[in-house]
Each structure stands twice: as C-alpha cells, then as structure tokens.
A and B are shown apart, each in its own frame.
Chain A
Amino acid sequence: DGGITQSPKYLFRKEGQNVTLSCEQNLNHDAMYWYRQDPGQGLRLIYYSQIVNDFQKGDIAEGYSVSREKKESFPLTVTSAQKNPTAFYLCASSPQSGTGELFFGEGSRLTVL
C-alpha cells in the first residue's frame, strides 16, 4: 500500500546527541515536509523540499537539518543545537501539482532525557 513511513515511532536521546528521524514515501510525491507538534500548539513547519537536492527552511529550522538525496526519502536530523527537542515530529508529502493536501506519516515521538 502507498503511504509514508516514519521511524522510529519512539526515540530517547541524551542531551548533546544528534538523532536522525527517517521518513520514506512511496506515493511518488514531489514535495515533502517536516512538522513539529507540541501540546497546545499548532503544527509548526521545520523544513520542506519541493524537489530532490533542494529544500527550504520553515518557521523553526534552527537546530535541525535535512537532506533530499532521493525523491522518496527526507530524513530529519535533530542536532544538539536544538534547545528543546522533546516533541512529536510529523513527516508529510504532497503532489506538486495538487491543492496542497498533505499526507502524513504516523509520527515520531522524541524524548530528551
């Protein structure tokens, strides 16, 4: 079945460590996104990519990095520079020619110990 797969579902990190969250899609979508969700707040855009080997910063990109070497993959690295990384991270994709409808993965919950 087509969809977006995020892994791991749960991740624990010690302060000072970088972690990478995986996002893979087999929907053949051009655009991919990373959002962060915190309790009581709306989804906030971290990074997005409209095409392979190109990506743009969203509203809260500081302390995060991404790559888009393949159309189907858009991994997110949470670096030690991110001061408050504990959150629920959501990856999404959409077809370039669509109406902006997002297809989300099941999310990755990162907890910093």
Chain B
Amino acid sequence: SQKIEQNSEALNIQEGKTATLTCNYTNYSPAYLQWYRQDPGRGPVFLLLIRENEKEKRKERLKVTFDTTLKQSLFHITASQPADSATYLCALGIGGSQGNLIFGKGTKLSVKP
C-alpha cells in the first residue's frame, strides 16, 4: 500500500541545536516534495520545495535533502530557536499535476530555551 510517514509525532530539542525531521514514503514516485510549517489553529505556510532530480535545497537556516533511492526526505533547521516551534508537514507531489499532493501527518517540533 502507499504510505507517507513522518518519523515522529513530536521532537524536542535544545535551542541552538540542529533539528532533523524525516519524511519517508513507500510505493510513490513523487515528482517533487514540499515542506510546510503549521502553527496551532493556523493554516500551513510553504517553506521549501525539492524536485526529484535535486539532492539538496537550502533557504537561510533550512536545508532539505531528497533521496529517491531511500524514498526519504530530511528537513534540517540549524541553530534552532524557540520561534521555530511548530508542526512541520511534508507533502509529496505525485505526477506533477494539480491536486495530487499527499500530506504526512506532521512532526511537532518544540525548541526549548
């Protein structure tokens, strides 16, 4: 069966450390993968997109990797801050057509001062 899994429901880290979130999938062949941030009671906000032919993407303190062999994406936040505390969602883009985004359940990140 087709699945998308984010490694843990919650991740707690200390301020200043690097947070690493994992998104694994099976039986999909995504054209791209996206990461979103969602704060409680709010809509998700787009962060980064990485295509199947890209290994790594960076944006400020954020880095995303995409390994189509392992069927895995890693999302890193370096020098984490309490303001980074939120739920992070990964989403697979299937076939590149509109409407075909498969979302994971999200990982709730808590950064402690």
Flag the segment in B13-21, B44-52, B58-66, B73-81 that touches A: B44-52
Q: Is the CB of B103 within 8 A of A105?
A: no
Which of B9, B99, B104 lies in contact with A45, CB distance below 8 A? B99
Q: Is the CB of A105 within 8 A of B43?
A: yes
When distances are taken between beta carbons in the complex, the residues of chain B under 8 Å from A43 are 44, 89, 91, 103
Q: Is the CB of B43 within 8 A of A90?
A: yes
A91's nearest neighbour on chain B, judged by CB, is: B43
A40's nearest neighbour on chain B, judged by CB, is: B105
When distances are taken between beta carbons in the complex, the residues of chain B under 8 Å from A107 are 41-43
Nearest Cβ distance between residue A71 and chain B, in whole angstroms?
A: 15
When distances are taken between beta carbons in the complex, the residues of chain A under 8 Å from B102 are 42
Q: Is the CB of B106 within 8 A of A96?
A: no
Q: Is the CB of B43 within 8 A of A96?
A: no
Would you give the 0/1 interface string for A24-45, flagging 1 where the beta carbon is closer than 8 Å to chain B?
0000000101010000111111
Nearest Cβ distance between residue A41 and chain B, in whole angstroms?
A: 6
Q: Is the CB of A104 within 8 A of B44?
A: yes
When distances are taken between beta carbons in the complex, the residues of chain B under 8 Å from A41 are 105
Task: Please report which residues of chain A, range 17-70, place their CB below 8 angstroms from some CB of chain B when the two chains form the complex.
Answer: 31, 33, 35, 40-45, 48, 50, 56, 58
B82 CB-CB contact with A under 8 Å: no
Which of A40, A42, A96, A104 lies in contact with B98, CB distance below 8 A? A96
A99's nearest neighbour on chain B, judged by CB, is: B49
Residue of A50, A96, A100, A106 with most chain B CB atoms under a 10 A cut-off: A100
B86 CB-CB contact with A under 8 Å: no
Residues of chain B having any CB pair with chain A under 8 Å: 4, 9, 32, 34, 36, 41-46, 49, 89, 91, 93, 96, 98-99, 101-106
Known: A44-B103, A109-B41. 14 other contacts (CB 8 A): A42-B4, A42-B89, A42-B103, A42-B105, A43-B44, A50-B98, A58-B99, A100-B49, A102-B34, A102-B36, A103-B46, A104-B43, A106-B43, A107-B43
